[in-house]
Structure 1
Amino acid sequence: MTLVLLSSQASPVHAAFAEPDGSYDVVVVEHLRLKVPAEGRQAWLEAERGSWEPWLAQQEGFLDRQLLWDPVTEEGTLLIRWVDREHWKAIAPQAVQAVQERFEQLAQAATGQSQGNPFPLVFEGELLPA
Protein backbone atom coordinates (compact mmCIF):
# COMPACT_ATOMS: atom_id res chain seq x y z
CA MET A 1 0.00 0.00 0.00
CA THR A 2 1.40 3.41 -0.99
CA LEU A 3 0.36 6.67 0.68
CA VAL A 4 0.45 9.78 -1.47
CA LEU A 5 0.39 13.13 0.37
CA LEU A 6 -0.62 16.12 -1.70
CA SER A 7 -0.48 19.08 0.69
CA SER A 8 1.34 20.58 3.69
CA GLN A 9 0.50 20.26 7.39
CA ALA A 10 -0.83 23.81 7.55
CA SER A 11 -3.91 22.84 5.55
CA PRO A 12 -5.88 19.60 5.09
CA VAL A 13 -3.79 16.75 3.74
CA HIS A 14 -5.06 14.68 0.82
CA ALA A 15 -4.43 10.94 0.73
CA ALA A 16 -4.97 8.09 -1.68
CA PHE A 17 -4.05 4.47 -1.11
CA ALA A 18 -2.71 2.53 -4.09
CA GLU A 19 -4.41 -0.79 -4.88
CA PRO A 20 -2.48 -3.71 -6.45
CA ASP A 21 -4.13 -3.08 -9.84
CA GLY A 22 -2.88 0.52 -9.90
CA SER A 23 -6.25 2.11 -9.03
CA TYR A 24 -6.77 4.15 -5.88
CA ASP A 25 -9.09 3.43 -2.97
CA VAL A 26 -9.81 6.92 -1.64
CA VAL A 27 -10.78 7.08 2.01
CA VAL A 28 -10.88 9.64 4.80
CA VAL A 29 -8.32 9.25 7.55
CA GLU A 30 -8.96 10.73 10.97
CA HIS A 31 -5.58 11.84 12.37
CA LEU A 32 -5.09 12.31 16.12
CA ARG A 33 -2.04 12.83 18.32
CA LEU A 34 -2.03 12.37 22.10
CA LYS A 35 0.59 13.09 24.73
CA VAL A 36 1.70 9.61 25.86
CA PRO A 37 4.72 9.55 28.21
CA ALA A 38 6.94 6.47 27.96
CA GLU A 39 5.84 5.21 31.37
CA GLY A 40 2.18 5.47 30.29
CA ARG A 41 2.46 3.72 26.92
CA GLN A 42 1.02 0.37 28.03
CA ALA A 43 -1.77 2.09 30.01
CA TRP A 44 -2.68 4.07 26.87
CA LEU A 45 -2.85 0.90 24.77
CA GLU A 46 -4.96 -0.88 27.41
CA ALA A 47 -7.39 2.03 27.60
CA GLU A 48 -7.67 2.09 23.79
CA ARG A 49 -8.37 -1.67 23.69
CA GLY A 50 -11.06 -1.34 26.36
CA SER A 51 -12.89 1.63 24.87
CA TRP A 52 -12.27 2.92 21.35
CA GLU A 53 -11.26 -0.37 19.73
CA PRO A 54 -14.52 -2.29 20.36
CA TRP A 55 -16.68 0.77 19.79
CA LEU A 56 -15.08 1.68 16.47
CA ALA A 57 -15.45 -1.90 15.24
CA GLN A 58 -19.23 -1.48 15.50
CA GLN A 59 -19.43 1.82 13.58
CA GLU A 60 -20.78 1.82 10.05
CA GLY A 61 -18.13 3.07 7.65
CA PHE A 62 -15.17 2.28 9.92
CA LEU A 63 -12.37 0.46 8.06
CA ASP A 64 -9.40 0.19 10.42
CA ARG A 65 -6.96 2.12 12.55
CA GLN A 66 -3.28 2.27 13.36
CA LEU A 67 -1.81 3.18 16.72
CA LEU A 68 1.74 4.51 16.54
CA TRP A 69 4.04 5.84 19.25
CA ASP A 70 6.97 8.26 18.90
CA PRO A 71 9.54 7.81 21.70
CA VAL A 72 11.20 11.15 20.91
CA THR A 73 8.10 13.34 21.30
CA GLU A 74 6.32 10.84 23.58
CA GLU A 75 3.18 11.13 21.47
CA GLY A 76 0.75 8.52 20.28
CA THR A 77 -0.58 8.90 16.75
CA LEU A 78 -3.89 7.39 15.69
CA LEU A 79 -4.79 7.01 12.02
CA ILE A 80 -8.42 5.94 11.70
CA ARG A 81 -9.68 5.08 8.22
CA TRP A 82 -13.32 5.62 7.25
CA VAL A 83 -15.05 4.76 3.96
CA ASP A 84 -15.97 8.42 3.62
CA ARG A 85 -16.33 11.62 5.62
CA GLU A 86 -20.12 11.33 5.75
CA HIS A 87 -20.01 8.06 7.73
CA TRP A 88 -17.41 9.43 10.13
CA LYS A 89 -19.20 12.74 10.77
CA ALA A 90 -22.64 11.10 11.05
CA ILE A 91 -21.70 9.72 14.47
CA ALA A 92 -23.47 11.62 17.25
CA PRO A 93 -21.10 13.76 19.37
CA GLN A 94 -22.78 12.34 22.50
CA ALA A 95 -21.75 8.82 21.45
CA VAL A 96 -18.14 9.93 20.94
CA GLN A 97 -18.16 11.71 24.31
CA ALA A 98 -19.41 8.56 26.08
CA VAL A 99 -16.56 6.51 24.62
CA GLN A 100 -14.06 9.24 25.49
CA GLU A 101 -15.28 9.17 29.10
CA ARG A 102 -14.84 5.37 29.18
CA PHE A 103 -11.33 5.76 27.73
CA GLU A 104 -10.40 8.33 30.40
CA GLN A 105 -11.78 6.12 33.20
CA LEU A 106 -9.69 3.18 32.00
CA ALA A 107 -6.64 5.40 31.53
CA GLN A 108 -7.00 6.87 35.01
CA ALA A 109 -7.28 3.41 36.55
CA ALA A 110 -4.25 2.14 34.63
CA THR A 111 -2.06 5.16 35.49
CA GLY A 112 -3.29 5.78 39.03
CA GLN A 113 -4.39 9.29 38.06
CA SER A 114 -7.55 10.31 39.93
CA GLN A 115 -8.95 12.90 37.50
CA GLY A 116 -8.54 14.39 34.05
CA ASN A 117 -7.31 12.73 30.89
CA PRO A 118 -3.88 11.12 31.36
CA PHE A 119 -3.36 11.26 27.58
CA PRO A 120 -4.53 14.69 26.36
CA LEU A 121 -5.17 15.42 22.70
CA VAL A 122 -2.44 17.58 21.14
CA PHE A 123 -3.56 17.48 17.49
CA GLU A 124 -6.75 16.65 15.61
CA GLY A 125 -6.98 16.61 11.83
CA GLU A 126 -8.01 14.60 8.83
CA LEU A 127 -6.54 13.34 5.60
CA LEU A 128 -9.04 14.13 2.84
CA PRO A 129 -9.52 12.49 -0.55
CA ALA A 130 -8.02 14.33 -3.49
Structure 2
Amino acid sequence: MVIEWLKFRISPPSRDIFIRLDNEIWTPFLAQFPGFLGKEVWISPNFPDEITLIIRWESREQWKKILQNDLETIEQKFAQQMQNHPYEIIEAKEYQIRKFSNS
Protein backbone atom coordinates (compact mmCIF):
# COMPACT_ATOMS: atom_id res chain seq x y z
CA MET A 1 0.00 0.00 0.00
CA VAL A 2 1.09 3.57 -0.72
CA ILE A 3 0.09 6.68 1.20
CA GLU A 4 -0.24 10.07 -0.46
CA TRP A 5 0.18 12.63 2.34
CA LEU A 6 -0.83 16.24 1.62
CA LYS A 7 -0.82 19.18 4.03
CA PHE A 8 -2.64 22.43 3.26
CA ARG A 9 -2.73 25.84 4.91
CA ILE A 10 -6.07 27.65 4.99
CA SER A 11 -7.71 30.21 7.23
CA PRO A 12 -9.56 28.55 10.11
CA PRO A 13 -12.97 29.98 9.06
CA SER A 14 -12.52 28.39 5.61
CA ARG A 15 -11.41 24.99 6.87
CA ASP A 16 -14.85 23.34 6.84
CA ILE A 17 -15.56 24.70 3.36
CA PHE A 18 -12.31 23.17 2.09
CA ILE A 19 -13.17 19.81 3.67
CA ARG A 20 -16.71 19.79 2.26
CA LEU A 21 -15.62 20.73 -1.27
CA ASP A 22 -12.75 18.27 -1.18
CA ASN A 23 -15.26 15.56 -0.32
CA GLU A 24 -17.62 16.66 -3.10
CA ILE A 25 -15.02 17.20 -5.84
CA TRP A 26 -11.73 15.40 -5.19
CA THR A 27 -12.90 12.24 -3.44
CA PRO A 28 -15.35 11.10 -6.17
CA PHE A 29 -12.74 11.91 -8.82
CA LEU A 30 -10.09 9.76 -7.10
CA ALA A 31 -12.56 6.99 -6.27
CA GLN A 32 -13.14 6.25 -9.94
CA PHE A 33 -9.55 5.03 -10.39
CA PRO A 34 -8.45 1.45 -9.77
CA GLY A 35 -6.25 1.20 -6.71
CA PHE A 36 -7.93 3.98 -4.71
CA LEU A 37 -8.52 2.55 -1.22
CA GLY A 38 -9.80 5.58 0.64
CA LYS A 39 -9.05 8.96 2.10
CA GLU A 40 -8.95 10.52 5.55
CA VAL A 41 -8.98 14.19 6.56
CA TRP A 42 -6.91 15.04 9.61
CA ILE A 43 -7.30 18.29 11.52
CA SER A 44 -5.49 19.35 14.67
CA PRO A 45 -6.87 21.51 17.47
CA ASN A 46 -3.31 22.85 17.83
CA PHE A 47 -3.04 24.00 14.19
CA PRO A 48 -6.47 25.29 13.08
CA ASP A 49 -5.00 26.65 9.84
CA GLU A 50 -3.83 23.22 8.61
CA ILE A 51 -5.55 20.28 6.96
CA THR A 52 -3.79 16.98 6.26
CA LEU A 53 -5.17 14.55 3.70
CA ILE A 54 -4.16 10.90 3.84
CA ILE A 55 -4.97 9.07 0.61
CA ARG A 56 -4.43 5.32 0.43
CA TRP A 57 -3.57 3.58 -2.82
CA GLU A 58 -3.17 -0.11 -3.52
CA SER A 59 0.04 0.57 -5.47
CA ARG A 60 2.16 3.49 -6.62
CA GLU A 61 1.69 2.37 -10.23
CA GLN A 62 -2.09 2.65 -9.98
CA TRP A 63 -1.88 6.06 -8.33
CA LYS A 64 0.54 7.42 -10.93
CA LYS A 65 -1.62 6.24 -13.84
CA ILE A 66 -3.88 9.26 -13.31
CA LEU A 67 -3.18 11.64 -16.17
CA GLN A 68 -1.67 15.00 -15.25
CA ASN A 69 -4.20 16.76 -17.46
CA ASP A 70 -7.06 15.15 -15.52
CA LEU A 71 -5.50 16.22 -12.21
CA GLU A 72 -5.12 19.79 -13.46
CA THR A 73 -8.73 19.88 -14.66
CA ILE A 74 -10.13 18.72 -11.32
CA GLU A 75 -7.83 21.08 -9.41
CA GLN A 76 -9.14 23.99 -11.51
CA LYS A 77 -12.71 22.98 -10.66
CA PHE A 78 -11.82 22.80 -6.95
CA ALA A 79 -9.90 26.11 -7.02
CA GLN A 80 -12.82 27.83 -8.74
CA GLN A 81 -15.16 26.75 -5.94
CA MET A 82 -12.56 27.87 -3.35
CA GLN A 83 -11.82 31.21 -4.99
CA ASN A 84 -12.98 33.22 -1.95
CA HIS A 85 -11.09 30.92 0.42
CA PRO A 86 -7.35 30.95 -0.42
CA TYR A 87 -5.39 27.81 0.39
CA GLU A 88 -1.94 26.51 -0.33
CA ILE A 89 -0.31 23.12 -0.27
CA ILE A 90 2.59 23.28 2.15
CA GLU A 91 3.78 19.66 2.10
CA ALA A 92 3.40 16.62 -0.13
CA LYS A 93 4.89 13.27 0.80
CA GLU A 94 4.66 9.66 -0.24
CA TYR A 95 4.96 6.65 2.04
CA GLN A 96 4.98 2.92 1.49
CA ILE A 97 3.50 0.64 4.11
CA ARG A 98 5.77 -2.30 4.81
CA LYS A 99 4.70 -5.37 6.72
CA PHE A 100 6.94 -8.25 7.63
CA SER A 101 5.83 -11.67 8.73
CA ASN A 102 6.82 -12.92 12.15
CA SER A 103 7.88 -16.34 10.91
Give me the TM-score of the superposition, normalised by structure 2.
0.86
Amino acid paired to 1:89: K
Aligned length: 97
Amino acid paired to 1:93: Q
Written as runs of structure 1 = structure 2, the 5 A alignment for 1:11-90 is 27-73=1-47, 74-90=49-65
State the shift of 1:36 in Å: 2.2
- Structure with the bigger percentage of helix: 2
Q: Provide the rounded CA distance (Å) in 1 between the counterparts of 2:9 and 2:45.
A: 11
Q: Provide the rounded CA distance (Å) in 1 between the counterparts of 2:6 and 2:75.
A: 13
SS for the counterpart of 2:87 is coil
Instruction: Give the % identical residues.
Output: 30
SS for the counterpart of 1:95 is helix
Q: Provide the rounded CA distance (Å) in 2 between the counterparts of 1:104 and 1:70.
A: 23
Q: Which has the larger radius of gyration?
A: 1
Q: CA RMSD in A?
A: 1.3
1:104 aligns with 79
> Unpaired runs of 5+ in structure 1?
1-26
Q: Provide the rounded CA distance (Å) in 2 between the counterparts of 1:129 and 1:43.
A: 31
Q: 1:50·1:103 contact (CA, 8 Å) conserved in 2?
A: no
Give me the TM-score of the superposition, normalised by structure 1.
0.69
Q: Provide the rounded CA distance (Å) in 2 between the counterparts of 1:97 and 1:53.
A: 15
State the shift of 1:81 in Å: 0.2
Q: Provide the rounded CA distance (Å) in 2 between the counterparts of 1:49 and 1:107.
A: 13
Q: Provide the rounded CA distance (Å) in 2 between the counterparts of 1:120 and 1:90.
A: 24
1:127 aligns with 95
Q: Provide the rounded CA distance (Å) in 2 between the counterparts of 1:42 and 1:129.
A: 29
- Structure with the bigger percentage of strand: 2
> Unpaired runs of 5+ in structure 2?
99-103
Amino acid paired to 2:26: W
